[in-house]
Chain A
Amino acid sequence: DGGITQSPKYLFRKEGQNVTLSCEQNLNHDAMYWYRQDPGQGLRLIYYSQIVNDFQKGDIAEGYSVSREKKESFPLTVTSAQKNPTAFYLCASSTRQGTITDTQYFGPGTRLTVL
């Protein structure tokens, strides 16, 4: 089955600890994205990557870091500098930006709770 996987589904961490969220896709998509969703709100873009070894900041990149060493993988690290890390994190992928229809497809999400 082709798709996007995120693990784990639920994650608990102590305040001050860095944590890395996994995102893997086997859709052969070039572009990948990380969003954050807070209760009752829409999605906000954290980082995106159009191609391996390249990524760009989104609207709320402060306190987060990413890497894109492989086409299939786009892990997100929530650092201790992120003031309000508790949220629902969503990963998405799409065919390469610049095509006429680059529909984004989403993974199931990781709910991070910082205690």
Chain B
Amino acid sequence: DAKTTQPPSMDCAEGRAANLPCNHSTISGNEYVYWYRQIHSQGPQYIIHGLKNNETNEMASLIITEDRKSSTLILPHATLRDTAVYYCIVRPGTGANNLFFGTGTRLTVIP
């Protein structure tokens, strides 16, 4: 069962910030928000995850709303190599085996 809702596709100009939204209105208090991406015919790549606070790493930033019902993944300076399908996943911090990958958002970075 899908716990997240993402737009099916987005475009972004090269060099600009890509902001990918995700709705997870039924998220529980112990569930984290994870982001992965999958470039065509490759395995999914972990990007970032968070619980309540905003997070940043070398790849991206994750902004989680105060009510935790939605989040945004930000790629600060998109490059052509960032063209991929991006998956937003919610899962408990412990006790979960499955990662439910929905259909994600297909991000196309345009030169």
Contact = CB atoms under 8 A, between A and B. Distances in A.
Contacts of A111: 41
A64 interface: no
Contact of A109 (B43, B87, B94): B43
Q: Specify the main secondary structure of chain A where it touches its partner.
A: strand
Q: Classify chain A's interface size.
A: 20 to 34
Contact of A104 (B46, B94, B103, B104): B46
Interface of B: 32, 34, 41-46, 49, 87, 93-104
Q: Specify the main secondary structure of chain B where it touches its partner.
A: loop
24 contacts: A4-B43, A31-B97, A33-B97, A35-B99, A42-B87, A42-B100, A42-B101, A42-B103, A45-B97, A45-B98, A45-B99, A48-B97, A58-B97, A88-B41, A92-B43, A97-B96, A97-B97, A98-B95, A101-B32, A101-B49, A103-B49, A105-B46, A106-B45, A111-B41
B42 A59 contact: no
Contacts of B93: 100-101
A109 B32 CA distance: 25
Interface in A72-115: 88, 90, 92, 97-109, 111
